[in-house]
Structure 1
Amino acid sequence: MSLDKRKQAFINLGHFLNQFNSNGIVKKENVLHNDLFFDAFKMQIKRAEEYNSWFTQNNVLFALESWTNALHHQNIYEWLKDYTIAKDSSKTIAIIMAGNIPLVGFHDFLCVAITGNKVLAKLSSNDKYFIPLIAKYLEYIEPSFKGKFMFTEEKLQDFDGVIATGSNNTARYFDYYFGKHPHIIRQSRNAVAVLDGTETHEQLEALSDDIFRYYGLGCRSISKIFVPEDYDFDKLFKAVYKHKDILKYTKYVNNYDYNKAVYLMSLFDMKENGFLMIKEDTSYASPIATLFYESYTDLEILKEKLNNDSDKIQCISTELNIADSVKLGQTQAPKLWNYADNVDTVKFLLEL
């Protein structure tokens, strides 16, 4: 199968997914194999929260919409233009996927498939239905994909390389079992924002979207902010108020109540508005319903700190001039070439 055929298959997938977005679910004409797959996807979206209560319909549709945008033909061609990719490869790549947010393992699946390799995936129990359904759709779009996608719950074996994503603890486990194979092993990282106090209300509202999207469970969810000394947190609290309806979600509220009780019993100083706590802390990973903050006095010194801590940071969001950062509100819309942990997955696969 040629690279052009693989590209076109994923472009067609993007057309199909375009029927499922944040504005709702609308069946469209002239979408390939809609008769076979539209209702199946619609049902899976409806049932997703039954399997994983964090996978609300809004979050699932946002994830599908993000992939619709990413799989636009212009993005795919821009992403791959500097690589030399041959026809099908005989290599099998084991992918161990996380399940913290919907379709979090899809980028690895895409990288392996677009480079002509075979996928051998071990899915997270928290997200084990969407990607096999997408794989089946791709097989109908491009029959040459048949035999290229394998999913297993058994011990992984007979593979040529490994891409594994998990927590800091599971990363050590992955390294022990897969370290002798060519591998990418990812561990926990978090997204941060850098503010200077001049941000507009609209910019802070955009920041709040990246705080609350996926309930803060994504590695690109803002878990910590850096602010100047004497920063006015009232401006931030006013901006996040748009997400007050999160209080309707019982599981989030339970986490909020639990973490608040822990902080109060531990006599920690924190600020809160009834659905978000802001606590001063040097850590990067904050609990659900909590945003950590740290003050700075010199932006250049802060830039050096962020550079030194790059192995803990997935991305930086700011309106300031900081290298490799994104604007406030854009952490949850990565490009195809924004690789997790800044490790070029396609390059890794091509060099096997």
Structure 2
Amino acid sequence: MNHKERINAFHSLGIHFSILIDEGGIELSHLLSEAKIENPWFTEKNVLSAMQNIVSWLDRTILTEWVSSYHIKDQLKPRNIGVIMAGNIPLVGFHDLLSILITGHRAIIKFSHKDKVLMNYTIKRLVNIEPRFEDFIIASDKPMKGVDAMIATGSNNSFRYFDRYFGELPHIFRNNRNGVAVLTNTEAQGELDALAHDIFLYFGLGCRNVSKLYVIESLNAEALVNAFAEYKEIINHNKYGNNYEYQRAVLQLAQTPYVDLNNVLLKEDRSFSSPVGVLHYEIVENLAEAKTKIEANRNQIQVTIGKDFVPFGLSQFPKVSDYADEVDVISFLSQL
């Protein structure tokens, strides 16, 4: 396959997803049901949100412009690229699959046990559209052998495993990162409403979800209560609600100060990773101090939201050219 044929296949997959979302029906209902059975965090809203963002990537013009800035040979020798996928949010491994295939390489995949249903469905539809992809996608739970390079995503503990077993290969290894937001106390209500999506979409489980706020001078908790009201029902989700109640009990027993916003607990804390149901915040004197702290901790931060940063509400809607950990996957693959 050449570039154009690969791009056309993914464009057709985007059309399929778009029609599936718009028309619904038995196929979508069954897919959503199976995904939720496999992973209770994968609610209908969250799965559809992930699929809709992928659709935005798979426009023919967007894909063409994306890959045209790289020097990718049509007739390159396909390399076997091992890819260990995460499963914290729906279809989180799709971008790696897209990147590997669109550059002409072969994907040797180890799925997360939390996201097999959606990934298998996506691959099946892609192969139906372009049968030649069948020889370029191998999924297995067995130990990876015969790979030429690795892309692996996991926890900080997993990172050590990746390095031990695959560190000698060309690789991209990813570990824990989080999103942060900067509040200046000059935000419009609409901006704070949008911030709620950055925090609560996917129950805060994504590496691009905002888990910490840098707040200039003082915290306006009342404004956040109003802004987060759209997600007031989130505590009715069994797993989120249990985490929220548990974390509140832990804070109370430890006599740790917190602010209960009715669907998330605000805790003053300098760390970036917060438990499910908890949102950390840190008071800073001014925007310059916030920027200094963010720059000093770039290796822990996936995305920064705010007036001088990525706009509110867009943390979980990256472009196809927005790479996790700021590591250019296409550049990496095109140089193998």
Q: Is the pair's TM-score, using the shorter chain for normalization, greater than 0.5?
A: yes
Which whole-Å deviations, capped at 9, do the CAs of 1:144-173 have from their partners, x for residues lacking one?
A: 212110000000001100000000111011
Report the Cα offset of residue 230 of structure 1.
2.1
Which whole-Å deviations, capped at 9, do the CAs of 1:9-46 have from their partners, x for residues lacking one?
A: 0011000000244xxx516xxxxxxxxxx855542222
SS, match of residue 181 in structure 2 = strand
Q: Does 1:287 align with 2:271?
A: no
Residues 97 and 164 in structure 1, CA contact (< 8 A), matched pair in contact too: yes
Q: Does 1:174 align with 2:128?
A: no
SS, match of residue 49 in structure 1 = helix
Residues 217 and 286 in structure 2, CA contact (< 8 A), matched pair in contact too: no
Aligned to 1:146: 134
Once structures 1 and 2 are overlaid, which stretch shifts more, 55-64 or 297-306? 297-306
1:51 is aligned, of 38, 55, 58, to 38
Aligned to 1:264: 252
Report the Cα offset of residue 273 of structure 1.
2.4
Residues 224 and 261 in structure 2, CA contact (< 8 A), matched pair in contact too: no
Question: How far apart are the structure 1 equivalents of 2:286 and 2:190?
Answer: 25
Aligned to 1:31: none
Question: How far apart are the structure 2 equivalents of 1:192 and 1:100?
Answer: 18
Report the Cα offset of residue 298 of structure 1.
2.7
Aligned to 2:205: 217
Once structures 1 and 2 are overlaid, which stretch shifts more, 236-245 or 134-143? 134-143
Residues 20 and 64 in structure 1, CA contact (< 8 A), matched pair in contact too: no
Q: Does 1:64 align with 2:64?
A: no
Written as runs of structure 1 = structure 2, the 5 A alignment for 1:134-213 is 134-213=122-201
Written as runs of structure 1 = structure 2, the 5 A alignment for 1:1-352 is 1-21=1-21, 25-26=22-23, 40-88=27-75, 89-319=77-307, 321=308, 325-352=309-336
Q: By percentage of residues, which structure has more helix?
A: 2
**TM-score when normalising by structure 1:** 0.92
Question: How far apart are the structure 2 equivalents of 1:294 and 1:259?
Answer: 19
Let me know the Cα RMSD of the aligned residues. 1.3
Report the Cα offset of residue 347 of structure 1.
0.5
Report the Cα offset of residue 75 of structure 1.
1.8
Question: How far apart are the structure 1 equivalents of 2:213 and 2:223?
Answer: 14
Report the Cα offset of residue 226 of structure 1.
0.5
Question: How far apart are the structure 2 equivalents of 1:221 and 1:133?
Answer: 25
Residues 34 and 117 in structure 2, CA contact (< 8 A), matched pair in contact too: no
Question: How far apart are the structure 2 equivalents of 1:51 and 1:124?
Answer: 11
Residues 235 and 244 in structure 2, CA contact (< 8 A), matched pair in contact too: no
Question: How far apart are the structure 1 equivalents of 2:189 and 2:244?
Answer: 25
Report the Cα offset of residue 84 of structure 1.
1.5
- Which amino acid counterpart does residue 252 of structure 2 have in structure 1? L
**5+ residue gaps in structure 1?**
28-37
Question: How far apart are the structure 2 equivalents of 1:40 and 1:231?
Answer: 46
- Which amino acid counterpart does residue 332 of structure 2 have in structure 1? F
Which whole-Å deviations, capped at 9, do the CAs of 1:97-150 have from their partners, x for residues lacking one?
A: 000000000000000000000010000000012222222222221222121100
- Which amino acid counterpart does residue 266 of structure 2 have in structure 1? I
**TM-score when normalising by structure 2:** 0.97
Which whole-Å deviations, capped at 9, do the CAs of 1:251-292 have from their partners, x for residues lacking one?
A: 111000000000111111000122210000000001111110
**5+ residue gaps in structure 2?**
none
SS, match of residue 152 in structure 2 = strand
Q: Give aligned-pair identity as a percent.
A: 39
Question: How far apart are the structure 1 equivalents of 2:243 and 2:166?
Answer: 35
Question: How far apart are the structure 2 equivalents of 1:13 and 1:238?
Answer: 39
SS, match of residue 18 in structure 1 = helix
Residues 132 and 151 in structure 1, CA contact (< 8 A), matched pair in contact too: no
Between Structure 1 and Structure 2, how many residues are aligned?
A: 335
Residues 221 and 261 in structure 2, CA contact (< 8 A), matched pair in contact too: no
Question: How far apart are the structure 2 equivalents of 1:129 and 1:116?
Answer: 25
